[in-house]
Amino acid sequence: MTTNVSALKTKKKLTAESASINALLAPWTGKHGGLPRFDLIKTEDIKSAILQAIDMKRKEIWAITHQKTLPTYKNTFEALEDSGRHLSRAGTIFSIYASVLSNKTIQQIEQELSPILSAVSDEILLDEALFFRIKAVWLNRHSSGLSAEQVRSIENLYEDFVRYGAELDADKKTRLKAINEQLANLYTNFSQNLLADEESQFLVLDSKEQLAGLPEGFCDAAAAQAEERGLHGKWIVANNRSSMDPFLTFSTNPELRDKALKMFISRGDNHDVNDNNEAITQILMLRAEFAQLLGFESYAHWKLAGNMAQHPDAAMKLMLELWKAAVARAKEEVADMQALADSEGAKLTIRPCDYRFYAEKVRKARYDIDQNLVKEYLQLDNMRDAMFWAANKVHGIKMVKLEGIPVVHPDVTVYEVRKGRKRVGTFFFDPYAREGKRSGAWMEQHRTQERFRKPVTPVISNQCNFVKGKPGEPVLISWDDATTLFHEFGHALHGLLSDVTYPSLAGTNVKRDWVELPSQLNERWLATKELLKKFALHYKTGEPISDELVAKIEKASTFNMGFDRVEFLASGLYDMMVHLAATPDKPINAAEFERTTMAQLGCPREIYMRHRPTQFGHIFSGDGYSAGYYCYLWADAIVADAAEAFEEAGFYHRATCKRLRDTIISIGNSIAPEQAYRNFRGRDIDPHALMRSLGFAVTTS
């Protein structure tokens, strides 16, 4: 008998391709409510899978619009809720690979698919037959016996269609589609340029003298990164915030601090193939035209009309009120630092590259608190366990580690989230920086909770960029890093504890200036004494952090708040002002606008924007936070008031925790946020709570 080897190889190849495509498209089945099969997926199959899923989505929309029966909630809205599930699954996998394991293949797929996916979105949002059915149900929503959640879903979807152009004439719709396609390409290019600069640029230290002042753990991690790049006997300061902040805080070499900071703030701004300046100019012009087509004065007006703030004036008022106090505090901080530098005979005037270094010196002198000492009590694994423990105490959930689950990278760990014996959801945790992973920290909803057709539990992930040290040694993180850890897990809890019927209303599918409330509030549990005494254990001795050090941390909680707020507000004000100024026909030079805006605001010369324009991924790598970076401050104001409820009752007070869960965390977008907050607090927000929280003087004018 003769065996056709070539035919067998072809059959195996086709079988593997089929499995890969199926893993991208098929429902997630099996244990734990069904999870993605990363072990079967091949990146080269992502594009074809998504194109197949797009065809499926189109057929589902066609079936909705070509019904002969009159529009009802069931045959229109519920049919829409049920459509596009194949595309959602394939798109989720694509998003994961693009953000945490990017490479040339993935980047090419991104460039090819971004405009296609944008066009499909427009195709649906601008479908006249579909909007006719949606509007018919919307007009009848209060007289058809629908539940409050169903009415909410109708109003949200109708508003989305109108906001994105469903009522425009044919010519304007055509132009809108072209704008969105161009923006999709520009967003992809911006992101890939930024990632390229972060990966290709780094500061090499080639002598132990250049390590002066740097913590041992930082040096070990820097040596490990150098080894990975074949630079034996050297150390690397990576071009990301996780490496840069500690280097600028502790390096005693002012020339190296200056060199490192210039590298960091120049990402995307080096006048080379990765330069983002022209992309920003085009993005702003296109967004302005987009807004004008929809009848808005500016893109900022369009964006905020869909948020709690409603109007740019409200966001600007909040930011400018805080800006004055923040600048005044920052000037006091600079004076303190300059005095200390002078007393040491440093013979320098405080520059941006000196701010963190001398602020740390002032902190130690004023509060007798050393960040390096605090880090010795903040092991990453312990802080992860701490946030799980707090979630158990506050929300009654337990995180159970799972083994043998397919993951996108070996660094990822998986947990089943349980409440009693019931599975609530699944949580993927991806803590470490690596090549191909975008910088920062974020949460993603891979599958939203629902009980529409049947109960479906959410699949949520958190990504961070902590730097690994030597193999087998604990990773120590700063207090700011631990705060970020709790922040992102707050987003995760928002998704995991969702308890609504429809997926479009579930989890973090809420207004942008409301979504940061659960995350920023969750940060507050890090500083509770109950948690710190249990999990802040010295990495060598295992001794719990002392009451004295906890008291110092608490006392110093508002230290350097001038720098913190100015750095943030400079970015938020730039974001809002540049989107208010942008027009379709007058190009804006990003760098020039930055200089003019900072001068107009009177930004202290010692402080840069937290995100300079060419690296401001929040607003230029997509439209999520565009004209919306203020949202963090808006949420801060709500959180400050909400936290006072816990300060009054106790952060682990059962009734208050339950009220938070029942009125805010679990409801998704099924209730308007303003009403949800009243349900939690029993009143509207106290506008003075934010100033009290930041340690700024409260004025009543």
Catalytic center residues: 488
* Residue tagged 């072809």 (tokens): 10
CA atoms within 13 A on the CB side of 506: 26
Q: Would you call 635 helix, strand, or coil by DSSP?
A: helix
Residue 145, classified by CB atoms within 10 Å of its CB into exposed (0-12), middle (13-18) or buried (19+), is exposed
**Spatial CB neighbours of 614, under 8 Å, sequence gap ≥ 6:** 194, 266, 267, 268, 269, 275, 276, 277, 280, 590
| DSSP letters spanning 103-148 | -HHHHHHHHHHHHHHHHHHHHHHT-HHHHHHHHHHHHTTTSS---H
| DSSP letters spanning 483-552 | HHHHHHHHHHHHHHT---S-GGGSTT-S-HHHHHHHHHHHGGGTT-HHHHHHH-B-TTT-PBPPHHHHHH
Extract the tokens encoding 343.
């007393």
Pair 105, 43: CB distance under 8 Å:
yes
| Distance in angstroms (rounded) separating the CA atoms of residues 408 and 100 | 8
| Distance in angstroms (rounded) separating the CA atoms of residues 574 and 590 | 10
Pair 575, 629: CB distance under 8 Å:
yes
Residue 415: C-alpha distances to residues 189, 309, 384, 418, 634 (Å): 34, 36, 12, 9, 32
The DSSP 8-state label assigned to residue 456 in this structure reads B
Burial pattern 656-695, b for ≥16 Cβ within 10 A else e, equals: bbebbbebbbbbbbbbebeebbeebbeeebeeebbbebbe
The DSSP 8-state label assigned to residue 661 in this structure reads I
* Residue tagged 């991924």 (tokens): 617
Extract the tokens encoding 122.
């427009």
**Nearest Cα to 610, choosing from 338, 238, 264?**
264
Residue 362, classified by CB atoms within 10 Å of its CB into exposed (0-12), middle (13-18) or buried (19+), is middle
Please report which helix (H) or strand (E) contains residue 444, including its range.
strand 442-447
**Nearest Cα to 510, choosing from 525, 498, 528, 520?**
498
Output phi, psi for 235, to 5 deg.
Answer: -135, 145
| Distance in angstroms (rounded) separating the CA atoms of residues 111 and 113 | 6
Query: CA angle, corner 218, sides to 215 and 222, nearest 5?
Result: 140
